[in-house]
Amino acid sequence: MDEPKEVDPAMSWGSDVAAQMLRRLDIPYVALNPGASYRGLHDSLVNHLGNRAPQMIMCLHEEQAVAIAHGYAKATGRAMAVALHSNVGLMHGTMAIYNAWCDRAPMLILGATGPVDATLRRPWIDWIHTSQDQGALVRNYVKWDDQPGSVAAIPESMLRAWQQTSSAPHGPVYVCLDAAIQEQRLNEEVPIPDPGRYAAPMASRPAASGLREAARLLAGAARPVILFGRGRRTEEAWERRVALAERLNAAMLSDLKAGAMVPTDHPLHVGEPFNQLSKAAKDALQRADVVLSLASIDLGGVLRQAYGRGAIPARVIHAGDDLYLHNGWGKEHMELPAIDVHLLGDPDAAVAELLDALPSPPRVATSRSSESKEHASEQLNLHAVARALREAVGEQPVSFAALARAWPVDLWPHRHPLDYLGKDGGGGVGSGPGLTIGAALALKDSGRLTVGVLGDGDCLMSMNALWTAARYRIPALFLIANNRSYYNDELHQEGVARQRGRNPANRWIGQAIDHPAPDIAKLAEAQGVAGIGPLRQVQELREAMRKAVECVRSGSPCLIDVHIDPGHGRHLRESMAERSLAKQA
């Protein structure tokens, strides 16, 4: 697709070097929205590389370009590239970069600035699109950034960026290319080193003494609990996690933020993956004598929910390397947890080492818990959506790239590391469409069906991401859990009103996305994505889902707008508002 004519294979311009680096780093795609600050690079991608390896993925907004790269990274564990125009394109991309940063997702962001040499700037436009220290816009939430000062400096800069983003703990990196340097004619050859010699180092294994101590504690534990946070999405790592839990007969708790790390219907698994701890999860933790956290995203917060502000009776082991990224600007390091044995390094390596160190054979025989609890319902809610999707997809594996709140994981257990890719990282609403498209791009030849279950607010914020899915025939299924509201925040308003003795019935004002309810299926259709809905009757689901799955299987994206009951699965007692108000009271 989009093959240019008469490609010039000679490396003759500064930006050809940057483009060649992308190819040699084996980066398949560059998501972008164009801009003159990188017109040099754009030309190199088209007229020097022929828009192949990497291929451009054009987006209608920079936030979508970044979110697509983020979704791709979630599905593959690998970075793809993004190109962002000068300061303004970077500003548009910032929220999505923040999401990727909090999610510890790898990503190579190429930026550009107007000429640093003022004598080369065109009047007006190059002046407003040049900033002193452009990387400062994102430095607090990228892992590394650079602005090479010459063409010859580009290979090293990009190699280091790649090495940084590809080594654990991951995070986005930003390389800003001076427009004047991109547009310099080369008068001598610029050597490009072999990227193989600058590869990311292997993830570090935790120290042996810590592992011995952890194994000793776990071997003596009567009621251990394992908290599964971030980890590799490989079947091997998955099997080892399960084997460790089985060997220890440990209660397993999964985190919705991290995505599928262990089977959620395993007999040792406690309840559904959590956003906030369920009663059963709290009980398991309160009974625990040893807690093993495998890269938990918010260990401090989990311990706080289980034990309050009091002492933590359980011994706590934590494996992970997130500590290396904490810079103090963001507080995504979360509450500082009490840790008795800190296994600094790769959590999956810790699992492998602990398995080697712990006595076998397994202490329990395990069998899958019974099939999902089907409870038919006549209401149009996410249970009905899940059942209709199951019927339409049959045995084909599904990857959920996003899950709106109240999706019934009990009806759809996670049984493979790619079954669910976790949350957006930074809680920046508007990420869902891009994450879904990025994951679908990565998984399009995998035999999996990629699905994003998105809130209406999330979807509407980034509706124009769908054009990219239509343009490149990226087979994603968007299911819109449309409650015609920023419902999460309605609950906050209700909670505040109650706290103040005011009228909670006014909670919808400034929150409802209704009168008119945007026609999301039409918004999809308008961009070339098949749009079905709005569905208002449960009876309409079955046929709609059959058509949608057929469409996606044929290689095209499809969206179903489902008008669900606003209150479905969300009650004030679950909400943040209630919890924080309860604390104040």
- Catalog residues that contact Mg ion under the rule CB under 5 A: 455-457, 483, 485, 487
Residue 405: contacted member of ligand TPP, Mg ion, none (CB under 5 to 8 Å, by partner type): ligand TPP
Which residues ranging from 488 to 517 are in contact with ligand TPP (CB under 6 A)?
A: 488-489
Residue closer to ligand TPP, measured from CB, 162 or 486: 486
Q: What type of residue is 378?
A: E
User: Residue ranges of the alpha helices (H) in 188-287?
Assistant: 208-219, 235-248, 279-287
Least distance from ligand TPP to the Cβ atom of residue 17, Å: 37
CB of 103 to ligand TPP, least distance (A): 14
Evaluate whether 61 touches 464 at the Cβ level (below 8 Å): yes
What is the closest distance, in whole angstroms, from the C-beta atom of residue 540 to ligand TPP in the complex?
A: 21
Helix 208-219 to helix 347-357 angle (10° resolution) is 60
Pick 157 or 483: Cβ nearer ligand TPP: 483
Out of 337, 345, 430, 433, the only residue in the binding site for ligand TPP (CB under 6 A) is 430
- Kindly tell me which of 49 and 454 has the beta carbon lying closer to ligand TPP: 454
CA-to-CA dists, residue 7 to 18, 52, 309, angstroms:
17, 11, 65
Binder of residue 316, out of Mg ion, ligand TPP, none (CB less than 5 to 8 A by kind): none
Q: Which of 147, 167, 483, 575 binds ligand TPP (CB under 6 A)?
A: 483
- List the one residue from 13, 274, 420, 486 that touches ligand TPP (CB under 6 A): 486
Which residue number, 433 or 457, has a Cβ lying nearer to Mg ion? 457
Residue 200 or 517 with smaller CB distance to ligand TPP: 517
Closest CA to 373 of 415, 409, 418: 409
User: 178 or 332, CB closer to ligand TPP?
Assistant: 332
- Our finding on whether 274 is near ligand TPP (CB under 6 A) is no
Q: Select 259 or 430, whichever has its Cβ closest to ligand TPP.
A: 430
Residue of the chain from 171, 417, 428, 475 that contacts ligand TPP (CB under 6 A): 428
* Separation of alpha carbons 273 and 275, rounded Å: 7
Q: Which of 458, 494, 561, 578 binds ligand TPP (CB under 6 A)?
A: 458
Q: Give the dihedral sign, CA 316/322/327/331.
A: negative
The listed partner (ligand TPP, Mg ion, none) that binds 313, CB under 5 to 8 Å by sort, is none
Q: List helix spans (H) across 77-140.
A: 86-102, 125-128
Of 557, 584, 541, 356, the C-alpha closest to 437 is 557
- Dihedral, CA of residue 421, residue 425, residue 431 and residue 432, to nearest 10: 30
Cα separation, 504 vs 513, in Å, equals 18
Q: Which of 302, 322, 110 is nearest to 204 (CA)?
A: 322
Contact by Cβ (8 Å): 40, 114: no
Q: Is it true that the peptide bond before 397 is cis, omega within 30 degrees of 0?
A: no
Give the list of residues 6+ apart from residue 152 with CB closer than 8 angstroms, or none.
190
Q: Which stretch binds ligand TPP (CB under 6 A): 116-124, 333-341, 424-432, 525-533?
A: 424-432
Residue placing its CB nearer to Mg ion in the complex, 54 or 455 = 455
Closest CB 540 distance from Mg ion, rounded Å: 20
Please state whether beta strands 172-178 and 144-146 pair in parallel, antiparallel, or not at all (unpaired).
Answer: parallel
Phi then psi for 454, rounded to 5 degrees? -120, 145
Q: Considering only residues 382 through 421, tell me which ones interact with ligand TPP, judged by CB under 6 A.
A: 404-405
Stretch that binds ligand TPP, among 26-34, 230-238, 303-311, 423-431 (CB under 6 A): 423-431
Positions touching ligand TPP (CB under 6 A) are 95, 404-405, 427-430, 455-458, 483, 485-489
